[in-house]
Amino acid sequence: MTVLDDIIAGVREDLEERRRAVSLDELKDRVSSVSPARDAVSALRGPDRDTVEIIAEVKRASPSAGDLNGIPEPATLAHEYEAGGAAAISVLTESRRFKGSLEDLDAVRSEVSIPILRKDFTIDPYMIWEARAHGADLVLLIVAALSDQELHEYLELTHRLGMNAIVEAHTADEIERAVEAGANIVGVNVRNLKTLETDKTHFASLASHLPEGPVIIAESGVAEPSDVADYGRQGAEVVLVGEALVRHSDPRDAVGEFKNQGRKARAAYWEEKDARDGR
């Protein structure tokens, strides 16, 4: 059994417990009274083509790094992220490996005005309704964890509820599957979820497969601003940053520095691309 398989088995058990406590009909009633989802695609596009936006993560722990930070007040951390210029906030809600919760999502939603990603291993439509009921604007759909039919159905439901999905890929084939499913946002994760190994060069190796149109996100492997710059130079429009921000003594300042370095690299990316295209 891979790490991904093990995580999903736990997610499935926890899901059934929540489903017994709150029915799907109850969730749908809650959704009807929740404010409309925020436009995550526009937020992640940024004001111009040189921008590298940051999705800043509220993350208590991970299978690879263990406990990261007590985060006594998720809302306070999210406020600092927003003040630093984050385009969106990612909130881990998986409890067994990441020690997150829907309560963390609720706390962050009450504090910030930017889009929020409910970052969990979505394996059932119930979880999409659940995310919207708790005010999420984005969900995570991992191509490796879903069949093509599930991917299409989950993405269609996400869009029907006014939300967007980060459709996460790890290979060229998975990028193609994400695009065929109709993804508006494609995330390339350089962490192998079957082994938890991280290879930052993996994003560049997939650069030629990145599609035109969807927002492109680089995920994992960020330790310092130069990593954001590398991703921006390789074609990323957005970088998701977790551990480096959670552990930082000044997360507001760190978000600003990540964006600054990303902007410089993104400008160089377009200069080189325009030169190749003869513009």
Active site positions, annotated: 57, 59, 119, 168, 189, 219-220
DSSP string, 162-189: T-EEEEEESSHHHHHHHHHHT-SEEEEE
Contact in structure between 143 and 66 (CB atoms under 8 Å): no
Residues 75 and 110: beta-carbon distance below 8 Å: yes
Which residue matches tokens 């059994």?
A: 1
Place of tokens 């005005």: 113
Q: Please spell the DSSP secondary structure of 211-279, one letter per residue.
A: PSSSEEEEES---SHHHHHHHHHTT-SEEEE-HHHHT-S-HHHHHHHHHHHHHHHHHHHHHHHHHHTT-
Q: What is the dihedral of CA 95, 78, 33, 141, to 10 degrees?
A: -50
Helix (H) or strand (E) holding 205: helix 201-205
CB atoms within 10 A of CB 139: 25
